């Protein structure tokens, strides 16, 4: 555990000092600033649109953080052979995988927390000038939605780690992880449509393709589980059950992915 | 006691789809006794780095056994005992050397105080104290190499594996690393050393192995080597008379006439009587030089022999 923490620490420092982080932060701040600038166009929906835009900014920043910085934090080790130096120390391959994961997750958490603080400032400013349109706004829902954005990226990090343990290049790991993310975000809507009456009547897809999509739906994590933007925007009730089940769902996936990555990584050779 | 032993080790790897398998190491048998400096030399692609990586557990041998202190290689034990410097180490760009050494200390089970003490000593020894708090991306190639050496030696390992430690170093850096390796040798560390700079290998190593095409084609101890290779001295003489040449003949390896002068090649042990004869006959020594770089010529001969 001590080794994993030591590795997590240097991974976190390496990530947090990466220059691309500034670019991502600036871009997110631009979106948040834009939120203040254009909120006035939405009249009664200012509250909902603001929450929606802030969550989108956080999600977009998270995607960039994971794919531009997080992914590099592990694949660069393999590409540049730094891993040979690290694994020559008394550190097991499982500790390496776990340490890298924790490091990237903390890096994402730190970055998202900063952006969340900024987004709160924009909301406070907008609420100050348009208090009437924030009557159903709940800070608890807002923070829960932001927390689940983080949970989503903790799961995405596990996916990135999993593919990095298999792939021989950073590009392959990127493509695989990105594909899983896109499928994971959209799969619920696709399945929902395929099970709708219209789709059944018109036989949109063949039975075999439908079975294939069912299998994919079970294999690929459903990222829309973690999307609480609508609840946050409309001030809807988020039940403790939903929070707990979503957390359990993410935890099981993360554990399985890290375990698989560790097993694959233990067999891998570093030429 | 034998520290490291490779028994009949072979390694074949698959370079990719539809490509022929590559035999990187072929039937390697090698023993490195404790406290010995073993130098492994060979052309690029000879299998030196693959051998090292197998010893570190980074790759698995396809065949054979690696023993560490008489027992089959256990990676956890090995990791505690070994200090490894890879060829052209790539260290974390945004970390400082202090942070890197702190990581090394923690993973090696050293306390913070010991890590700081040993780190300070190594930084001073390798003249990196001033740069210790700078990000590693601002280091020159030579500084990175020295930083890699600090990383390898911080936990005071019993077995030190150095893959091209002189690569990228300026003459001062080379001297610094050379002295450090000599010091490790005096402290009884076992050193496994790979380098293309044969003069360093020759000066540092107790035993030298030559690897070509994945096979260990020659292994020789430094003492035997000095005897077998007959390092020679070449004297260029002016005024070398026929009488002098007759007297020199039994003492020298070769006398070669060149223009008005003669070049006499002899073993270093015969230098004193030869100089006496030259003085007696009134000839003049115009120049004196080592006739060959022994390991280099031996290396070329071995590699050429294998190629033929």
Domain encompassing residue A76: 2-267
- Which 3 state secondary structure label does DSSP give B242? helix
Q: Does A130 score more than 80 pLDDT? A: no
Number of alpha carbons in the 13 Å side-chain half-sphere of residue A204:
13
The total number of structural domains in chain A stands at 1
Mean pLDDT of A207-232: 83
10 Å CB burial of residue A63 (0-12, 13-18, 19+) is middle
> Mind telling me how many Å the CA of A106 is from chain B's nearest CA?
17
Of the two residues B134 and A238, the one the predictor is more confident about is B134
The answer to whether B128 touches B188, Cβ cutoff 8 Å, is no
For chain A, the average pLDDT equals: 87
The answer to whether B273 touches B280, Cβ cutoff 8 Å, is no
Which residue among B86, B107, B108 places its CB closest to the CB of A84? Answer: B86
C-alpha A31/C-alpha A58 separation (Å) is 10
Contacts of A3 in chain B (CB under 8 A): 106-107
Contacts of B148 in chain A (CB under 8 A): 85
> Mind telling me how many Å the CA of B91 is from chain A's nearest CA?
6
The answer to whether A177 touches A159, Cβ cutoff 8 Å, is yes
Residue B227: the pLDDT is 66
Closest-CA residue of B relative to A96 is B107
Whether residue A89 and residue B104 make contact (CB cut-off 8 A), yes or no, is: yes
Percent of residues, chain A, with pLDDT higher than 70? 99
* Residue labelled with tokens 């006499």: B264
Cβ contacts from A onto B, under 8 A: 81
Mean pLDDT of B249-277: 86
B266: enclosing H helix or E strand: strand B261-266
Q: What residues contact residue B240 under an 8 Å CB cut-off, 6+ apart?
A: B248, B255, B261, B262, B264, B278, B281, B283
Q: What residues contact residue A100 under an 8 Å CB cut-off, 6+ apart?
A: A7, A8, A11, A73, A74, A77, A161
What is the pTM (predicted TM-score) of this model? 0.84
> Mind telling me how many Å the CA of A117 is from chain B's nearest CA?
26
Number of alpha carbons in the 13 Å side-chain half-sphere of residue B212:
14
Considering only CB atoms, which residues of chain B are within 8 Å of chain A? Answer: 13, 50, 53, 56-60, 76, 79-80, 82-84, 86, 89-95, 99-100, 102-104, 106-109, 135, 148, 151-152
The C-alpha torsion from A164 through A167 and A168 to A172, rounded to 10°, is -100
- DSSP lists the bridge partners of residue B255 as B264
Token output for B127:
């003249």
Query: Of A101-115, B68-82, B281-295, where does the model show the most confidence?
Result: A101-115
C-alpha B103/C-alpha A117 separation (Å) is 31
Token output for B177:
């690393």
Whether residue B86 and residue A85 make contact (CB cut-off 8 A), yes or no, is: yes
C-alpha distance from residue B112 to each of A74, B57, B121, B127 (Å)? 27, 28, 14, 22
3-class SS letters over B26-58: EEEEEEEECCCEEEEECCCCCCHHHHHHHHCCC
C-alpha distance from residue A140 to each of A75, A233, A236, B308 (Å)? 37, 11, 11, 79
C-alpha B261/C-alpha A42 separation (Å) is 102
C-alpha distance from residue B183 to each of B102, B103, B178 (Å)? 24, 25, 9
Contacts of A2 in chain B (CB under 8 A): 106-107
What tens digit of pLDDT does each residue of A182-194 get?
999 888 888 888 7
Under the banding of pLDDT at 50, 70 and 90, the label for residue B176 is confident
Give the residue among B107, B55, B152, B71 at the shortest CA–CA distance from A92.
B107
Token output for A179:
């594909």
How far the first Cα of chain B sits from its last, in Å, is: 37
Considering only CB atoms, which residues of chain A are within 8 Å of chain B? Answer: 2-3, 5-7, 9-10, 13-14, 17-18, 80-82, 84-85, 87-92, 269-271
Whether residue B92 and residue A82 make contact (CB cut-off 8 A), yes or no, is: yes
Contacts of A80 in chain B (CB under 8 A): 90
Q: Does A165 score more than 60 pLDDT? A: yes
What tens digit of pLDDT does each residue of B196-238 get?
888 888 888 889 999 988 888 888 887 777 666 666 788 899 8
* Residue labelled with tokens 């660069």: A76
> Mind telling me how many Å the CA of A271 is from chain B's nearest CA?
7
Contacts of B151 in chain A (CB under 8 A): 85
Give the residue among A182, A185, A158 at the shortest CA–CA distance from A71.
A158
* Residue labelled with tokens 């631009």: A30
The C-alpha torsion from B218 through B224 and B225 to B229, rounded to 10°, is -110
C-alpha B21/C-alpha B23 separation (Å) is 7
Token output for B229:
């290779």
Contacts of B150 in chain A (CB under 8 A): none
Q: Does B96 score more than 60 pLDDT? A: yes
> Torsions phi, psi of B241, nearest 5?
-75, 170
């Amino acid at each position: 555990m001590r080794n994993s923490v030591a590795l997590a620490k240097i991974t976190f420092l390496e990530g947090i000092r990466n220059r691309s982080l500034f670019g991502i932060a600036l871009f997110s701040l631009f979106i948040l600033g834009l939120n203040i600038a254009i909120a006035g166009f939405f009249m009664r929906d200012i509250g909902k649109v603001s929450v929606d835009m802030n969550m989108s900014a956080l999600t977009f920043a998270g995607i960039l953080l994971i794919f531009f910085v997080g992914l590099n934090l592990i694949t660069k080790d393999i590409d540049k052979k730094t891993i040979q130096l690290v694994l020559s120390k008394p550190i097991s391959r499982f500790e390496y995988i776990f340490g890298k994961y924790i490091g990237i997750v903390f890096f994402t958490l730190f970055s998202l927390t900063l952006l969340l603080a900024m987004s709160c400032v924009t909301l406070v400013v907008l609420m100050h000038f348009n208090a009437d349109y924030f009557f159903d706004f709940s800070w608890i829902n807002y923070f829960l939605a932001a927390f689940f954005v983080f949970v989503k990226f903790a799961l995405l990090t596990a996916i990135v780690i999993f593919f990095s343990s298999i792939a021989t290049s950073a590009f392959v790991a990127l493509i695989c992880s990105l594909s899983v993310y896109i499928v994971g975000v959209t799969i619920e809507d696709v399945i929902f449509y395929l099970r709708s009456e219209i789709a059944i009547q018109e036989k949109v897809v063949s039975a075999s393709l439908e079975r294939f999509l069912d299998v994919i739906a079970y294999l690929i994590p459903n990222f829309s589980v973690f999307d609480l933007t609508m609840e946050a925007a409309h001030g809807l009730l988020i039940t403790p059950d939903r929070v707990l089940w979503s957390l359990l769902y993410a935890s099981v996936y993360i554990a399985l992915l890290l375990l698989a990555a560790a097993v694959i990584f233990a067999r891998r050779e570093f030429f | 006691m034998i520290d490291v032993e490779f028994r009949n080790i072979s390694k074949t790897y698959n370079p990719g789809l539809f490509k022929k398998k590559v035999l990187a190491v072929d039937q390697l048998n090698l023993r490195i006794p404790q406290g010995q400096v073993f130098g492994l030399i060979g052309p690029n692609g000879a299998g030196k780095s693959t051998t090292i990586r197998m010893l570190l557990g980074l790759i698995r041998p396809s065949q054979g056994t690696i023993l560490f202190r008489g027992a089959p290689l256990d990676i956890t034990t090995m990791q505690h005992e070994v200090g490894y410097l890879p060829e052209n180490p790539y260290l974390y760009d945004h970390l400082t050397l202090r942070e890197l050494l702190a990581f090394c200390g923690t993973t090696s089970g050293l306390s913070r105080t010991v890590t700081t003490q040993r780190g300070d000593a190594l930084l001073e020894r390798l003249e990196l104290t001033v740069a210790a708090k700078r990000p590693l991306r601002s280091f020159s190639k030579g500084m990175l190499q020295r930083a890699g050496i600090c990383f390898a030696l911080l936990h005071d390992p019993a077995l030190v594996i150095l893959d091209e430690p002189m690569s990228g170093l300026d003459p001062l850096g080379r001297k610094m690393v050379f002295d450090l390796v000599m010091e490790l040798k005096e402290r009884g560390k076992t050193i496994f050393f790979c380098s293309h700079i044969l003069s360093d290998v020759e000066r540092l190593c107790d035993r030298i192995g030559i690897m070509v095409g994945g096979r260990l084609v020659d292994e020789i101890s430094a003492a035997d080597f000095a005897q077998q290779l007959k390092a020679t001295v070449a004297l260029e003489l002016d005024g070398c008379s026929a009488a002098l040449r007759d007297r020199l003949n039994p003492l020298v390896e070769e006398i070669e006439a060149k223009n008005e002068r003669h070049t006499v090649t002899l073993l270093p042990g015969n230098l004193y009587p030869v100089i006496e004869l030259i003085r007696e006959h009134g000839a003049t020594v115009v120049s004196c030089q080592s006739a060959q770089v022994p390991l280099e010529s031996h290396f070329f001969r071995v590699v050429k022999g294998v190629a033929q």
